[in-house]
Amino acid sequence: MTQPMALTYEERGSGPVLLLVHGFPLDSSMWIEQLKGLAKIRTVVAVNLRGHGYTKVDDNDGFSMDLFADDIAATLDEIGAEQVDLCGLSMGGYVVLAFWRKYPQRVRSLIFVDTKAEGDTDEGKAGREKTAAMVREQGMQPLYDGMIDKMLAPGAPQSVRETCKRIFLNVPPEVAAADALAMRDRPDSTGDLAGINVPVLWIHGEQDQLMPIDGARATAAKIPNATFVSIPNGGHMSPLENPEAVNKAFTEFLNTVTPKKK
């Protein structure tokens, strides 16, 4: 059985830990603006999931949202953080939901960014298999070419496009394939939403084409204590596309979340 591992991460700031989980097929550098902008109020820790960024693995067996959640727990043990504010974008949000199911006592608050709670449809599952086969055969470039216009708002700056390209092409195709199959197999988390009993922030790009904002609003409304913030000029990569608005939402929310006294 594949064992949990402590992940590599980028860290800035001091105080209670805010842990950020990237989306597919990305790495910790997608959170560059949050590492810079939130360091005054939190120790911001942006992890590289297994196989991504500096977190190297010898094989890509056993990838699952649960294993990613176990890796985060191992990382928290290593950095000595008992509880965290936990945030994930898109696939990172699926990981956050798995972590919530397994380790609720370690969660101070949850932040969902441009994500969803539903599992894949049969059509979606078939698409994951096609994606896995494509990257194994042709590498990351066709995946980038097929996804980038859907990931960004139509007016997104060229610099954001370049950043996404650099991150995409840096992910080993075998890792992206394993991610795709892990997402195919993730459960539907909709039934967990009503039981979330920590403060929740849901941030969503107004122009997210991959996960349209109306569906996200309806999902967030199922969480008892959730604040929903829509991000103007933001697509699926709102933290890179409109970091000022995203960081303002994080800051206002996190200032209301009180860390447990030791």
Nearest to 190, CA basis, from 119, 138, 252: 119
Shortest approach of ligand MLT to residue 262 CB, angstroms?
35
End-to-end Cα distance, the chain: 35
Rounded CA-CA distance 93/150 in Å is 18
Measured from the CB of residue 126, what is the shortest distance to ligand MLT in angstroms?
Answer: 13
Among 9, 24, 112, 250, binds ligand MLT (CB under 6 A): 24
Nearest one of 43, 138, 128, 124 to 81, comparing CA atoms: 43
Q: How many CB atoms lie within 10 A of CB 148?
A: 16
CB of 91 or CB of 152, closer to ligand MLT? 91
Give 85 or 208: the residue with its C-beta nearer to ligand MLT: 208
Under rule CB under 6 A, residue 96 binds ligand MLT: no
243 belongs to the binding site for ligand MLT (CB under 6 A)? no
The answer to whether residues 43 and 89 touch, using CB atoms and an 8 Å cutoff, is no
If one asks whether residue 91 binds ligand MLT (CB under 6 A), the answer comes out as yes
**Counting contacts by CB under 6 A, is residue 23 touching ligand MLT?**
yes
| 176 near ligand MLT, rule: CB under 6 A | no
Under rule CB under 6 A, residue 90 binds ligand MLT: yes
Which one of 73, 74, 81, 210 is in contact with ligand MLT (CB under 6 A)? 210
Q: What b/e sequence results for 189-211 when a residue is b if at least 16 CB atoms lie within 10 Å of its CB, and e otherwise?
A: beebbeebebbbbbbbbbbbebb
148 is a site residue for ligand MLT (CB under 6 A): no
Nearer to ligand MLT, 57 or 176 (CB): 176
Size of the site for ligand MLT (CB under 6 A): 6
At residue 86, what are phi and psi to the nearest 5 degrees?
-115, 130
Total Cβ atoms within 10 A of residue 122: 7
Among residues 167, 183, 203, 254, which is the contact residue for ligand MLT, using CB under 6 A?
Answer: 183
Q: Which helix (H) or strand (E) holds 111?
A: strand 107-113
Nearer to ligand MLT, 41 or 132 (CB): 132
Q: Which is nearer to ligand MLT, 57 or 171 (CB)?
A: 171
**Closer to ligand MLT by Cβ: residue 170 or 251:** 170
84 near 17, Cβ under 8 Å? yes
Residues engaged in binding ligand MLT (CB under 6 A): 23-24, 90-91, 183, 210
